[in-house]
């Protein structure tokens, strides 16, 4: 009887140890797979850099009005999603804390929009780059998910690249997850008979829906916004705060568009961070 009790105890103890071992291994694997810096400890960040994650992504968002159907943090949530997925796909990168605010234009007429000046926006990015250089990254990549990000980041990156190059650090602006991808998305929508839309339109709404449905109000996707102006024109959000017809938005479209952005972003960043001799001018 005692032997049977002892045998049962040994079996249970062994199973418990195995379960604990699996759980510990899973936790270790989870720690090694972390790429979002604010979720990591300082020791984990240092270990990740030593382990080969020598690229950091600085993703810029915006807090802005986007009609009655999208949360004003649409760029923030999308930048976090894209940044994390691009970092994971690269395998050599971490995602810095998202820069939430950026210069805006016609969005400022609507409640909730946050508008820093271009000078403030540039200064914040410059300070953040300096922090990432001091952390030990060899490549710093500036990205933006909002049109108001792009020109400032494009102008800033080469200046910072020159500043830090003597320290063995390169700073690049990456635009393909935004501009190139948006061209592809616009072509897809046009070729498949979708009505014109731009700010908070089909593409915007679908992508945010795919990131997380709680940020979209489907019951508000029932009306058409202001007319879409010619390409390259400033925002003209009318009285509703959005442009065009978002009614055919869907999570399925959004997933496809996000995958385009991730693919294009990863490809460009790999080109930028390859050895200098093979990168080209």
Look up tokens 């271009």; give the residue: 118
Stretch 237-250: mean pLDDT, rounded? 96
| Length of the chain measured in residues | 281
CA distance 125 to 163: 14
**Whose CA is closest to 202, among 72, 112, 67?**
67
pLDDT score of 198 more than 70: yes
pLDDT for the residue 272: 98
Three-point CA angle 229, 231, 234, nearest 5°:
60
- Residues 37-77 have pLDDT tens digits of 999 999 999 999 999 999 999 999 999 999 999 999 999 99
β partners of residue 58 = 142
- Residues 83-134 have pLDDT tens digits of 999 999 999 999 999 999 999 999 999 999 999 999 999 999 999 999 999 9
pLDDT for the residue 219: 97
β partners of residue 57 = 95, 141
Distances (CA, A) of 235 to 26, 142, 246, 266: 48, 24, 16, 29
Q: Which domains does the chain have, with CATH numbers?
A: 33-276 (3.40.50.10310)
CA distance 57 to 68: 31
Confidence (pTM): 0.87
| Mean model confidence pLDDT for the chain | 90
CA distance 16 to 230: 66
CA distance 91 to 103: 31
Strands (E), the chain: 55-60, 93-95, 139-144, 170-173
Per-residue pLDDT band at 30 (split at 50, 70, 90): low
């Amino acid at each position: 009887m005692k032997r049977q009790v002892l045998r049962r105890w040994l079996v249970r103890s062994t199973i418990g140890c195995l379960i604990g071992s699996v759980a510990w291994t899973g936790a270790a694997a989870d720690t090694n797979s972390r790429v979002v810096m604010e979720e990591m400890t300082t020791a984990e960040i240092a270990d990740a850099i030593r382990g080969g994650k020598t690229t950091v992504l600085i993703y810029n968002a915006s807090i802005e009005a986007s009609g009655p159907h999208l949360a004003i943090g649409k760029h923030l949530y999308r930048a976090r999603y894209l940044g994390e997925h691009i970092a994971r796909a690269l395998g050599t990168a971490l995602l810095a804390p998202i820069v939430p605010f950026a210069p805006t234009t016609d969005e400022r007429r609507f409640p909730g929009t946050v508008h820093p000046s271009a000078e403030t926006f540039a200064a914040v990015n410059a300070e953040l780059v300096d922090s990432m250089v001091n952390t030990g990254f060899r490549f710093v990549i500036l990205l933006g998910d909002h049109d108001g990000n792009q020109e400032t980041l494009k102008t800033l990156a080469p200046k910072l690249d020159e500043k830090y190059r003597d320290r063995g650090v390169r700073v690049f602006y990456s635009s393909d997850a935004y501009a190139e991808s948006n061209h592809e998305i616009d072509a897809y929508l046009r070729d498949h008979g979708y009505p014109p839309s731009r700010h908070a339109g089909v593409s915007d709404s679908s992508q945010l829906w795919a990131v997380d449905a709680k940020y979209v109000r489907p019951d508000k996707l029932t009306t058409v916004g202001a007319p879409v102006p010619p390409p390259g024109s400033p925002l003209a959000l009318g009285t509703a705060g959005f442009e065009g017809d978002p009614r055919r938005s869907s999570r399925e479209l959004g997933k496809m568009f996000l995958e385009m952005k991730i693919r294009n972003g990863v490809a460009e960043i790999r080109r930028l961070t390859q050895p200098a001799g093979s990168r080209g001018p």
